[in-house]
Structure 1
Amino acid sequence: MLEFAKAIFAHNPTADWLGLESHSLILSLQRFKDFVSSFSEQHKSYVIPVFNGESVDTGSLETNPFTQVMQKSQVEASEIAEIEPETEIMVLSQDMPFIVDSLRILMNQEQLNVIRQLYSVVITTRENGRLISVKSTSKLEENQLEPNQALEAAMYLQVKESLDESQRAAVEEKVNKILKEVRATNNDFGHMLDKCHNLAAQYEKLAASSIEDPAKAQREGMPASETAAFLRWIANDHFVFLGARAYKYVNGVAVPEKGGDLGWLKADPSVDLQEEVPLSLIGDQSLYFATSATVGRIHRPAYPDILRVIEVDSQGQRTGEIRFVGLYTAAVYRTSVRNIPIVRTLAANIANESHFLMSGYDGKFLWQLMETYPRDEWLQSSFDHLNDVFMQVISLQERPLLRVLTRVDAAYRFVSVIVFVPKDRYTTALRRQFEEILKKHLPVMGMNFDVYFSESVLARVNMTIRVNASQRFSVDPELLQAEFSRASLSWEERLVIQMRQMKPKEMHSFLETEFVNHFPEVYKAETSAEEAARDINGLNSISPNKQVHLELQKHDDDAANMLRLKLYGRGNLPAYSKMIPILEHMGFQVENARTHSLMSASGTPYSITHYLVKTEVDVKSVDTIVLQPHLEDAIDRVLSGNGSSDQFNRLLLICGLNVNQVRLLRAYARYMRQIGFNLSYRYMANTLARYPAITKKIVDLFEAKFNLGETSVYQRLKDVAIESHAIGLALEDVTGVDDDRILRQYLVLVLATKRTNYYIQPKDPKENPYLAFKMKPAEIPGMPRPVPHFEIFVYSSKMEGVHLRGGPVARGGLRWSDRLEDYRTEVLGLVKAQQVKNAVIVPVGAKGCFVCKRLPQNVSRQETMEAVQHCYKTFIRGLLSVTDNLVKGEVVPPQNVIRFDSDDPYLVVAADKGTATFSDLANEVAHEHDFWMGDAFASGGSRGYDHKKMG
């Protein structure tokens, strides 16, 4: 504050109001101390440091404002200085109303954040404008100023922003302009008040005569007596007169009188007074109420009110008008409508026309509505509009319904929208939605609002919209009411509407009861009703034999490689730590994830997880309708333990394959590793992903060869030749040597496959699916020797196995191997030994083995053996699924298996390492398949045959 005092006295080198003559240092210093003392009394929270004459710069005091002449025509000035990093604004002025308010309005309009504000009024004594003394106002009583004394105000503002020189100059100019307007308003206030009283006197004379037509004037509440009463009423501290302009009527046109501006209009003639509104619009009214489109800068930051008062002569003829611009005082909004002239007459007329018993419910409700209705609307609306408004609201009969009422002013610059909305539905968020709806339909330039609550079930939202009159627009109350009503619906109501649009009628009642009122608040805050309806559909779509249901969504505002994936499940869905690797194997990079849980009305727990994922491809090229069930199937199989999660799952997205097609390629890749193909499993998957077109051709080749159509073998071989040739041509464009090797090996394996159970569906959907391929190894280049005559490869996510046969009639044991990476090498070595050892028993030998890939951990030996036996039975089923049967001496091929070899019904197995007690299990599976050998299928069983003993 000391710096402020020094600045007031000593730092104003640019102000043009600085005087001519300086006083002595002692006298100046004394006045400086007087000012500081006076200021400190009004701001006791600030400590005033002790100082002496040496602390004040003598040169500065020679130019200090308080030692200078202050002319009457120039009683204010401002100074803006920069203090890093803020800016100081210092104002010295004759003390007047509205200074502080107006300067704060200016700061807000300039977007300057005031962090400190000081304001002090002191008593100054001047002699011909030259400052003589400064005193405190602490002991000043009303009208105690001496003739040569005056009240002067010093204001200090510190703003957060640092302004450069040009910005400081611009703000200083605006500060001085505001001070000029405030001074003009204060100087002419009395003149404007006199004009108001003179106009009241004119109407009092008119009321005493018999010239006016009271019936018509009475309906609009404006008989001459009420007009006069209203003018007297506003002049009695109910209206802050900011400015006035006088007009004369010339040929029916209002022409401003020269020198007829007062107050604010004198300082700023550009203030909007609705000059374009013609006299014809006023009609017979003596008063016309409107709103200025110029935002007020004095006293309150609002659009000022315009009051057009018609001047009449002694004969009641219109001669001109006075347009007052100002602000209604706070008392107006607290005063009963029964006590406001004009308004009281309108209210009485509305009450009379309603024919309600005023002591009854409707009558009391009507008066309550009228008492609480905005005063601006009372004054600016016609009788017919007001009457219609109140009757509409009363027709609601306190029902919780929304009603929208609108009014457009004559100049098309303001639209008034009043919304009656059920109180329990009103929120700030809802009001903001109303604002957004209005912005959609109107050329909005600004908007003010206020909200009124009472004992009624309805809240009232008043919105005044400043619109751009130069743009064409229309206000459709019915359209606004429809959109406001939709916005005001509860989340649950919007959800029911969405559900009824998406679901068959027979499902409405069940789903609404089961789900609508059972979503947690966090979910409702994050999820639209439309999306929630889709979620209910997703929850209801969870298949009884599946763990999850999946849905894919593409949003228009998402990036080209972004996709939204939702998982729905009963109970708890897998943790992110489990799901994210699964999704990454599918080619998705998880960017965001959130999970919501709920308990339905029937007590069933559900979970919804929403993943935002980045993909390797442009999602515009992805058919989500096709991809969605494939991903769901893959995820469900992985979660149930019947599927694999690895890089091959990327082919679902990149190549557009289904789960079975991916499983086919995965199985061939596993077989490649067993026959000595030296490229890694991951590399094979990546190669297929790099060449999606060739990958799809390989799958097409396989399906052309083995599909279940009625195509003859000859035609199939022809189709295979065509597809093979197309793949060969495509391979010419493959640049990588290893990529070429992998793709050609796939081609070779498909061609070498003679039978497959690919098209056989498991009887139990929950059973782990397995694939079996009967191969002709001699057709596969580079096969390790000895090369079997036939080979069956069985693959599933839980086990793998091979069965090698030296000829059509061959027998050999099946062993449980623990060599996951090279179990075929193990069994091939046994085949070599068997060819010598068992040559006496059978012409040629056979050997097989299987591995278990997912044995349970940390369990008992019995549980482990049960898992091994399950894998063994899967292996046997795989072997039998591609083996012919004998029925009444006739060879019967396996159902849904296309054969590219001769009849082959002979298959017998025996126990071996790890399977000594499994023969009964093998025979059990043989009986499941009605295999012709029955208990002779596996030697060593409790009811079977010992092939060694039988010779």
Structure 2
Amino acid sequence: MKNMMTSLTRAFEARLLEGALPGELEGFGEAERAEAAGFVAETAAVRAAGTPRIALTTFMAGERRRMRLAVVNDDMPFLVDSIASAISAHDIGIHRILHPVIAVSRDAEGKLVAIGAEDAEARRESMVYIEMERGDARTRRDLVAELERMLDQVRDAVHDWRALQTAMAADAAAIPSKEGGKLLRWFHDGAMTLLGHENWTMDGLASDQLGIARYTLDTPILAEASRNAAVEYFRKGGEAPLLLKSNSISTVHRRVPLDIVVVPVVTGSQITGLSIHSGLWTSAALFTAPDEVPVLRERLGRLEQKFGFDPKGHTGKAMAHALTALPHDLTTAFDVESLEQLVLTSMSVADRPRSKLALVKSPLGRHLFAFVWLPRDEIATSRREAVGAMLEEAANAKLINWSIALEDGVVALLRFTLDLRQGGTMPDAAALDDQLERMMRGWVPAVEAALAEQAGAASTRLALRFANNFPATYRTTATPEEAARDILRIATLEGPGDRSARITPGANPGEYRIKLYAQGGALALSDAVPAFENFGFRVIEEVPTQLSGGAFVHDFEVEAAELQGDVATIEEAVAAVLEGTAENDLFNRLIVESGMRPASVILFRAWFRYLRQTGMSYGLATVVDALRRAPKVAAALIEHFDAAHNPARGGDTAAIEAAKRAIDAGLDAVSAIDDDRILRALRGVVMATLRTNAFAPAAKEALAFKLDSAKVPGLPAPLPWREIWVY
């Protein structure tokens, strides 16, 4: 047996490179060829007729560990491209593909007995050898399982090819539409790679399944609801055939959505079911001149006639070129009105290259097709993803596929397919086109335009000063409108110690984004996070951005209870703490959760310090919690103090009495004994205050209170007649 394997390995090694492209042989010396041949020989040693053999293992390629795959099968179409597509679908890079087709002889048990045999018993077998990036154990298991399923589907599609052709020919003969019948015959003659077919009746039963229609796929080729919608389409006079795109991605030949051809089954005068074909337009068919594509050529003629275009004139040729460049698998399915709008848009872009968008809904309303023309130089993954996200949001739909067409010229065509079946809607194409135009402006002009809406005449000056300071990573993730808002905050920073904050709601209740702006250096997380926590925010993540020019933008995602305070007030309070001009303690939670002004928080902070000096045992956190749980009492205490001492109110007696009643009513509602004691102590200090500088400019330096000590409950003896407390 060992001698036999050695002999087979040598024979494989001699044939392994047959038909190999030059690029596949780089770094593939004699030792590597011998090792690969041994791997293929071992895989091919025993194989039952009609069953593929698959082997996948890891190996050392120089200093790197990679994987190698051998697939031995009966020779048939679609093998290499289907295998390579399956590997790519797992995000595994391929480094080498060899595919000799070798005549072999096997005994009754499937054991390999000869290679290169030319006798009558010999059969041609496909030997696929692939080297690729390494995957973990789970990835390897999933890939092998995927290959097994895919190879079964390839085998059935190839085996049933004649029957698939027969079914297509039968439908071509049955269609009343002359052009529709010619389209099906065109598909039959090679314009479509036929992969599956089934007959479906109105009671939901499928029969006569061929090719991939034999399988229950994870995503149905055509869902039951869509089949019923197709019946309604035909009942309302829709022409056959009905061309659709499936949500199911083909595993055979090319990994793209399957093309579906639907023909009604008519018994007497009633539609009783559907004949459903699935496959893929061939590459040649997709690029066939439109005047040679049945149905499409008829629509081209109608458009030329409508607009009076001479087919041999400039405009007529431009229309034909537009139809040639647009994907035939879609344009052949579109109604005349949608096709007209799409073609005219394409012609306009060809004459005047620019960013442009057009939207077309599929015949049954299942899909939205978006055609987006962009400058070739702007085609990048980040740009394509941004456009896709814009479409998903506008249509409330999921993006299921995209493709790109690059021609001569300065624009490229991106095509997006979105699934509208789960509540998706047709967006406003004009509004989306405007949004695309704004997206595609140069960064500085786009930021300047956004600034013009927010800052008016100062927009040009601000854009010239700041717009180019943002790094590339920021520009790919933030909109010009967001940059404009950031610039307006950064422009307020005058020195290295200045800070600014901006708060916006997040995607879910209780989620917020807080942007902090600093000049001259980044903010230390050890400073920012404790400050946020004292305001009641829990930090989830932070993304810092450094601008040229010395500014920093720190983008925080935070969680908090619902903001009760004015957002602008909270922003100013956060900035003051980070600048060091306000204290950083838990009293700041009252600004966020109770809507208290920072000046009022300073009063509570001063009263707390006084009570601690007099011997009150409650700590800061306990006092803050008591005030948070009794916001009406806290507000009434501030109102009483303000009404009694603010010169602008002149000792408003009515307001003072109303505040007293509110305090008493609030205290009656307090159930926790510690909270009651704390609040009554604070009330005592407020009531004992005779004079204060809280409303004078000097309060910015220090707060002073003149107290009638006898009115402060719990003061230890001896009591002073009057007391001055300075904070």
TM-score interval w.r.t. the shorter chain?
0.5 to 0.7
Give the distance between the partners of 1:95 and 1:527, measured in 2 at CA.
Answer: 52
Q: Residue 622 of structure 1 aligns to a residue in which SS? A: coil
Asked if 1 retains the 8 angstrom alpha-carbon contact of 2:46 and 2:110, the reply is: no
Query: CA 1:499–1:178 in structure 2 vs 1: closer, same or farther (change >3 Å)?
Result: same
8 Å Cα contact 1:103-1:178 kept in structure 2 = no
Relative to structure 1, is the Cα distance of residues 307 and 633 closer, same or farther in structure 2, using a 3 angstrom cutoff?
closer
Give the equivalent residue in structure 2 for 1:178.
153
Residue 62 of structure 2 is matched in structure 1 by none
Secondary structure, counterpart of 1:620 in structure 2: coil
Match of 2:362? 408
Structure 1 residues 30 and 612 mapped into 2: Cα distance closer, same or farther (>3 Å)? closer
Q: Which has the larger Rg?
A: 1
The answer to whether the Cα contact below 8 Å between 1:78 and 1:172 also exists between their aligned partners in 2 is: no
The equivalent of 1:514 in structure 2 is: 462
Q: Is the 8 A contact 2:249 2:257 kept in 1?
A: yes
Aligned residues of 2:81 and 2:254 also touching (Cα < 8 A) = yes
Structure 1 residues 661-713: Cα deviation after superposition (integer angstroms, max 9, x where no partner): 3444444555567xx73568xx5534531421465555455445434377779
| 1:49-76 residue CA offsets vs partner (Å, 9 max, x unmatched) | 999xxxx9xxxxxxx858xxx8xxxx41
Q: Is the 8 A contact 1:499 1:508 kept in 2?
A: yes
Is the Cα contact below 8 Å between 1:630 and 1:658 reproduced in 2?
A: no
What is the deviation of 1:520?
0.8
Cα deviation per residue 1:402-448 (whole Å; 9 max; x = unaligned)? 23142524x66665443334555554345445545665687979833
Q: Determine which of 667, 671, 688 is the counterpart of 2:623.
A: 688
SS at match of 1:619: coil
Q: Secondary structure at the match of 1:770?
A: coil
Q: Deviations over 1:172-220 (max 9, x none)?
A: 984774364155146x49x959998x999x9xxxxxxxxx9xxx98xx7
Q: Which residue of 1 aligns with 2:570?
A: 628
Question: Of residues 295, 300, 306 in structure 1, which corresponds to 2:254?
Answer: 300
Map residues 401-800 of structure 1 onto 2, 5 A cutoff: 401-406=355-360, 408-409=362-363, 416-423=369-376, 426-436=379-389, 447-464=400-417, 476=426, 479-483=428-432, 485-487=434-436, 489-490=438-439, 503=454, 507-511=455-459, 513-515=461-463, 517-518=467-468, 520-521=470-471, 522-529=473-480, 531-532=482-483, 534-535=485-486, 538=489, 548-557=499-508, 560=510, 564-568=513-517, 592-593=541-542, 596=545, 608-612=553-557, 619-620=561-562, 622-625=564-567, 627-628=569-570, 631=573, 635=577, 638-639=580-581, 644-645=583-584, 649=588, 652-653=591-592, 656-668=595-607, 677-678=614-615, 685-692=620-627, 693=630, 698-708=637-647, 734-735=673-674, 740=677, 749-761=685-697, 768-776=700-708, 792-793=724-725, 795=726
- Identify which of 84, 103, 124 aligns with 1:123: 103
- The answer on whether the counterparts of 2:536 and 2:589 sit within 8 Å (CA) in structure 1 is yes
In 2, distance between residues paired with 1:648 and 1:761? 23
Residues 423 and 459 of structure 1 are in contact (CA less than 8 Å); yes or no, is this contact kept in structure 2?
yes
SS of alignment partner, residue 416 of structure 2: strand
Cα distance change on mapping 1:238 and 1:486 into 2, 3 Å = same
Partner of 2:78: 98
Sequence identity of aligned pairs in percent? 19
Alpha-carbon spacing, 1:710–1:88, altered in 2? closer, same or farther (3 Å): closer
1:12-35 per-residue CA deviation (whole Å, 9 max, x = no partner) reads: xxxxxxxxxxxxxxxx77765553
Could you tell me how far apart the structure 2 residues matched to 1:669 and 1:298 are?
Answer: 76
CA apart distance, 1:121: 3.8
Q: Following the alignment from structure 1 to structure 2, what is the Cα–Cα distance between the partners of residues 670 and 300?
A: 75
Q: Which residue of 2 aligns with 1:135?
A: 115
Cα pair 1:88 1:157 within 8 Å, conserved: yes
Letter in 1 for 2:690: K
User: What secondary structure, in the 3-state scheme, does the structure 2 residue paired with 1:97 have?
Assistant: coil
Query: Structure 1 length normalisation: TM-score?
Result: 0.53
Matching residue of 2:50: 76
Matched, 1:38 2:11: yes
Deviation at 1:77, TM superposition (A): 2.3
- Does structure 1 retain, via aligned residues, the 8 Å contact 2:402–2:414? yes
Query: Does the 8 Å CA contact 1:627/1:653 hold for their aligned counterparts?
Result: no
RMSD: 6.3
User: Per-residue CA shift, 1:814-850, capped at 9, x if unaligned?
Assistant: xxxxxxxxxxxxxxxxxxxxxxxxxxxxxxxxxxxxx
Q: Match of 1:489, as an amino acid?
A: R
Asked whether the equivalents of residues 82 and 163 of structure 1 are also in contact (C-alpha less than 8 Å), the reply is no
Partners of 2:494 and 2:112 in 1: how far apart? 96
Letter in 2 for 1:773: F
Instruction: Look up the SS of the partner of 1:76 in the other structure.
Output: coil
CA distance in 2, matches of 1:710, 1:265: 84
Distance 1:731 1:199 in 2: 82
Does the Cα contact within 8 Å between 1:181 and 1:268 map onto a contact in 2? no
Shift of 1:608: 4.7
What's the offset of the Cα at 1:622? 2.5
Q: Determine helix, strand or coil for the equivalent of 1:489.
A: helix
Query: Is the 2:636–2:659 Cα contact (8 Å) retained in structure 1?
Result: no
Q: CA deviation at 1:533?
A: 5.1
1:209-257: per-residue Cα shift (whole Å, max 9, x none)? xxx9xxx98xx7x9x9xx59x968984x76545578999xxxxx9xxxx
Secondary structure of the corresponding residue to residue 151 of structure 1: strand
Gaps of 5+ in 1: 1-27, 57-63, 138-144, 203-211, 248-252, 311-320, 797-951
Residue 644 of structure 1, CA deviation: 4.7
Contact conserved, 1:245 with 1:323, CA < 8 A, in 2? Answer: yes
Q: Which residue of 2 aligns with 1:389?
A: 342
Contact 1:551 1:628 in 2 (8 A): no
- Find 2:325's aligned residue among 372, 376, 386: 372
2-structure distance, mates of 1:307, 1:733:
74
Partners of 1:241 and 1:95 in 2: CA distance: 18
Provide the C-alpha distance between the structure 1 equivalents of 2:373 and 2:520, rounded to a whole number of angstroms.
Answer: 44
Once residues 483 and 110 of structure 2 are traced to their aligned partners in structure 1, the CA distance between those partners, rounded to angstroms, is 77
Aligned to 2:620, what secondary structure does the other structure show? helix
Distance 1:35 1:307, change over 3 A: farther
Q: Secondary structure at the match of 1:178?
A: helix
Alpha-carbon distance change, 146 to 497 in structure 1, aligned in 2, over 3 angstroms: same
CA distance in 2, matches of 1:731, 1:382: 71
Amino acid corresponding to residue 614 of structure 2 in structure 1:
F
Q: Does 1:152 align with 2:125?
A: yes
Matches within 5 A, 1:227-306: 235=189, 240=193, 276=231, 278=234, 296-303=250-257
Does the aligned pair in 2 maintain the 1:38–1:122 contact within 8 Å? no
Retained in 2: the 8 A contact 1:80–1:87?
no
Q: 1:179 to 1:495 in 2, by over 3 A?
A: closer
Q: How many residues align?
A: 665
TM-score, normalised by the number of residues in structure 2: 0.66
Change beyond 3 A, Cα 1:350–1:161: same
Shift of 1:631: 1.8
Check conservation: 1:115, 1:160, Cα contact below 8 A: no
